[in-house]
Chains A and B, each alone.
Chain A
Amino acid sequence: MKKTMYEKIWDSHLVVDEPGQAPLLYVDRHLMHEVTSPQAFEGLRVANRKVRNPHSILATMDHCVPTKDRDRPIADPIARKQIETMAENCRENGLNLYDMKNPNNGVIHIVVPEHGFVHPGMVVVCGDSHTATHGAFGALAFGIGTSEVEHVMATQVLPQQKSKTMLVRVDGELSKFSSAKDIALAIIGEIGTAGGTGYVIEYAGGAVNALSIEGRMTLCNMAIEAGARAGLVAPDYKTYQYLKGREYVPSGNDWDKALAYWKTLSSDEEAQFDRVVTLDAAEIAPQVTWGTSPEQVVAVNGRVPAPEEFDDEIKRQACKSALAYMGLTSNSKITDIPIDLIFLGSCTNGRIEDFRIAAEVTKGKNVAKGVTAIAVPGSYHVKEQAEKEGLDKIFIGAGWEWRDPGCSMCLAMNGDELTVGQRSASTSNRNFEGRQGKGGRTHLVSPAMAAAAAVAGHFVDIRNL
């Protein structure tokens, strides 16, 4: 039988598949951060269970950590306790933790690939929905709840329902002004935030193959925003090149064996998908979200829609309430929307490539008056590399703040946040009400679009710069 990549990975990880019960899927890698794990460790302790396979786990601290004045104690006592609990849990169970002061520290989905911890064909979980990021390597990677975190720690398997498969083909060539982020947003605009529910998406086509590994991570990262369980890209020479020589990647004979295996993983040519969606990359303009759901998105040269434009009653209502929350008027031009704050970072767009692109747009210009612009590298390694290339000087010189790594304003748990009514252009992944601070208004964009908005003080069509 012809199989998709998802089916190959699924089949090779089935430990138990018996009628009358959920199949048990083996988990190779378990990623962890401080917010969704403490109750799982507590559960283990109460039940007197142990972590079955400590070396399958890599942990970091990212959600609550401050992005400046790291040497001072965390001001918020509850956050401090969460951080201390994480350190204690990892110590007690012998887990590898990149704590706040560790040179490897950063956002979980940024640091894990940096160390080559995820390989093609693996099953990877994390108590975090953006685990989908690692699908960029051809690994089946998905987010789980805290009870499941406990389950995986105790058993190394997870009861799972098999997903349906969706192929998203993006053919043609992407304009140099558009990026993986724009592809991701355009797909969500096309299928909606529930369009992928029940599916694992495989991204394919010329425009996907042409993306760097960083770009593929951005694309897969937002599979969850389309409702999908996971996103996948078939591994190719770029994947192998990226992995080679990294800490957790085999070398010598083992590398050859691993490589031979990885090459068997792509979907068979005639494999059947349950749904196929196609997009033309050439038509994907830089995208800007206008509402409070990632599907409420338009091209930068577009306008804020009016509720009447939607056929569906629910979408009409959603448009109305989003416009009220966002303080926008129907039919106004996207490029007329003024911005108060720029956030460059997150597991979606916090990699070195993102900072290079944003720096290129910023070079020789200044942040507009009254605009705050914050650059938060995804990890210390990204920060270091950027500094080596002198990107920090470009940002700081233009009036940006140059911070330490963390999730920061992607979810605003660490004190970096919007105030009521403040409007941001953000390279993160969610524009939900209050996501970046109560009453804050978020527009999701690519790094280039964010950097250009910082200079202009409003959105600009970067194709005309």
Chain B
Amino acid sequence: MEPYKKHESIAALMNRSNVDTDQIIAKQFLKKVERSGFGIHLFHDWRYNADGTDNLDFELNKPAFKGARILVVGDNFGCGSSREHAPWALADYGFNAIISTSYADIFFNNCFKNSILPLTVSKSQLDALMEEVSVNEGVRFVIDLENQQITTPAGNGFQFEIDSFRKENLLKGLDDIGLTLKHIDKIDQFEKENQQNFPWLWA
């Protein structure tokens, strides 16, 4: 993975809560065996009209949000299915940061595997950011992971919380599997004991 760098980007606003992963990437696009190319299908049913043209009422189709890398969205984002196709689609579309009050567990984990920073903020912080985007569509926020700081033109910025282990991995772009394999001795040892205690699982 690429190291996660400080960036200044357009923040797009979707004032919806409980957006599920079926909406983020619909099932008809899950048949591919590759990881790439899901961006054009992001939010398909909301984003496109029946004839395939853009639905101009959909938030992300607003010209001001073109090129947005930050998604500001309501509570419990990414609930439902475990499909990692959801963060693949978000990342492929261009998003690398999400700001919300809460996320579903599996989706939250999946984001970190794909260099997407899911920021968890308080209700009042979210309200302020949503307000700022809605009165100034196309506004750019700065996200500085190193210093855990978000900065906005109207001064609604703040320090955010993030697990230090996850932060390090994102900043360095570390491969999780490689990190785990450093503990291979302990895994071997665990399995040896497991074979003694539960031999029937290893028959």
Q: Which of B75, B109, B194 sits near A26, CB closer than 8 Å?
A: B194
- Evaluate contact between A78 and B31: CB separation under 8 angstroms: yes
State the Cβ distance, A183 to closest chain B Cβ, in Å. 20
- Evaluate contact between A145 and B26: CB separation under 8 angstroms: no
Q: Which of A28, A35, A318, A412 sits near B201, CB closer than 8 Å?
A: A28
Interface residues on A, range: 35 or more
> Which residues of chain A have C-beta atoms less than 8 A from B35's C-beta?
39, 42, 146
- Evaluate contact between A155 and B181: CB separation under 8 angstroms: yes
- Evaluate contact between B199 and A254: CB separation under 8 angstroms: yes
> Which residues of chain A have C-beta atoms less than 8 A from B20's C-beta?
293, 430, 432
Instruction: Specify which of B27, B179, B181 lies most central, judged by the most chain A CB atoms within 10 Å of its CB.
Output: B27
> Which residues of chain A have C-beta atoms less than 8 A from B199's C-beta?
254
- Evaluate contact between B31 and A145: CB separation under 8 angstroms: no
A156 at the interface (CB under 8 A from B): yes
Q: Which of A114-163 contact B (CB under 8 A)?
A: 127-129, 142-148, 150-151, 154-157, 159, 161
Chain A's closest residue to B189 (CB) is A15
B74 at the interface (CB under 8 A from A): yes
- Evaluate contact between B102 and A147: CB separation under 8 angstroms: no
State the Cβ distance, A73 to closest chain B Cβ, in Å. 15
State the Cβ distance, B29 to closest chain A Cβ, in Å. 9
A81 at the interface (CB under 8 A from B): yes
Do A156 and B186 form a contact, CB below 8 Å, given A129-B82, A147-B114?
no
Chain A's closest residue to B110 (CB) is A145
Q: Which of B23, B27, B110, B187 sits near A155, CB closer than 8 Å?
A: B187
Q: Which of A146-200 contact B (CB under 8 A)?
A: 146-148, 150-151, 154-157, 159, 161, 193-194, 197-198
- A434 to B186 alpha-carbon distance, docked (Å): 46
- Evaluate contact between B22 and A128: CB separation under 8 angstroms: no
Do A413 and B200 form a contact, CB below 8 Å, given A151-B180, A156-B187, A433-B22?
no
A54 at the interface (CB under 8 A from B): no
Do A413 and B30 form a contact, CB below 8 Å, given A147-B110, A314-B17?
yes
Q: Which of A49, A63, A293, A435 sits near B18, CB closer than 8 Å?
A: A293
- A15 to B187 alpha-carbon distance, docked (Å): 6
State the Cβ distance, B192 to closest chain A Cβ, in Å. 12
> Which residues of chain A have C-beta atoms less than 8 A from B18's C-beta?
193-194, 293, 318
- Evaluate contact between A129 and B81: CB separation under 8 angstroms: yes
B135 at the interface (CB under 8 A from A): no
A85 at the interface (CB under 8 A from B): yes
- Evaluate contact between B177 and A36: CB separation under 8 angstroms: no
For chains A and B in complex, what number of residue pairs have CB atoms within 8 angstroms? 165
- Evaluate contact between A227 and B191: CB separation under 8 angstroms: no
- Evaluate contact between A438 and B45: CB separation under 8 angstroms: yes
Give a binary string over B90-117; 1 marks a CB under 8 Å from any A CB, 0 the rest.
0000000000001111100110011000
B124 at the interface (CB under 8 A from A): no
> Which residues of chain A have C-beta atoms less than 8 A from B190's C-beta?
15, 26
Give a binary string over B50-88; 1 marks a CB under 8 Å from any A CB, 0 the rest.
000000000000000000000000111001111110010
A71 at the interface (CB under 8 A from B): no
Q: Which of A52-94 contact B (CB under 8 A)?
A: 55, 63-64, 76, 78-79, 81-82, 85
> Which residues of chain A have C-beta atoms less than 8 A from B87's C-beta?
145
Do A36 and B27 form a contact, CB below 8 Å, given A156-B191, A194-B75, A197-B104?
no
Chain B's closest residue to A35 (CB) is B30
- Evaluate contact between B22 and A435: CB separation under 8 angstroms: yes
- Evaluate contact between A144 and B45: CB separation under 8 angstroms: no
Do A20 and B164 form a contact, CB below 8 Å, given A145-B113, A435-B22?
yes
> Which residues of chain A have C-beta atoms less than 8 A from B183's C-beta?
15-16, 24, 157
> Which residues of chain B have C-beta atoms less than 8 A from A78's C-beta?
31-32
- A179 to B164 alpha-carbon distance, docked (Å): 44
State the Cβ distance, A397 to closest chain B Cβ, in Å. 33
Q: Which of B31, B102, B191, B198 sits near A413, CB closer than 8 Å?
A: B31
- A432 to B78 alpha-carbon distance, docked (Å): 12
A411 at the interface (CB under 8 A from B): yes
> Which residues of chain B have C-beta atoms less than 8 A from A76's C-beta?
31
B176 at the interface (CB under 8 A from A): yes
Chain A's closest residue to B34 (CB) is A39
A229 at the interface (CB under 8 A from B): yes
Further 14 A-B residue pairs, CB within 8 A, beyond A127-B84, A157-B180 = A20-B165, A22-B166, A26-B187, A26-B190, A39-B35, A76-B31, A79-B31, A155-B180, A156-B191, A157-B187, A193-B18, A197-B105, A434-B26, A438-B26
- A sample of 17 cross-chain residue pairs with beta-carbon separation below 8 angstroms, ordered by A number, consists of A15-B186, A16-B183, A129-B81, A129-B82, A147-B84, A155-B180, A156-B187, A157-B187, A161-B163, A194-B102, A227-B104, A229-B105, A254-B199, A293-B20, A314-B74, A411-B81, A433-B22
Interface residues, chain B, CB within 8 Å of chain A? 17-18, 20, 22-23, 26-28, 30-35, 45, 74-76, 79-84, 87, 102-106, 109-110, 113-114, 163-166, 176-177, 179-181, 183-184, 186-187, 190-191, 194, 198-202
By Cβ-Cβ distance, the 7 closest A-B pairs, closest first, are: A250-B200, A147-B113, A38-B33, A145-B110, A145-B84, A143-B82, A146-B84
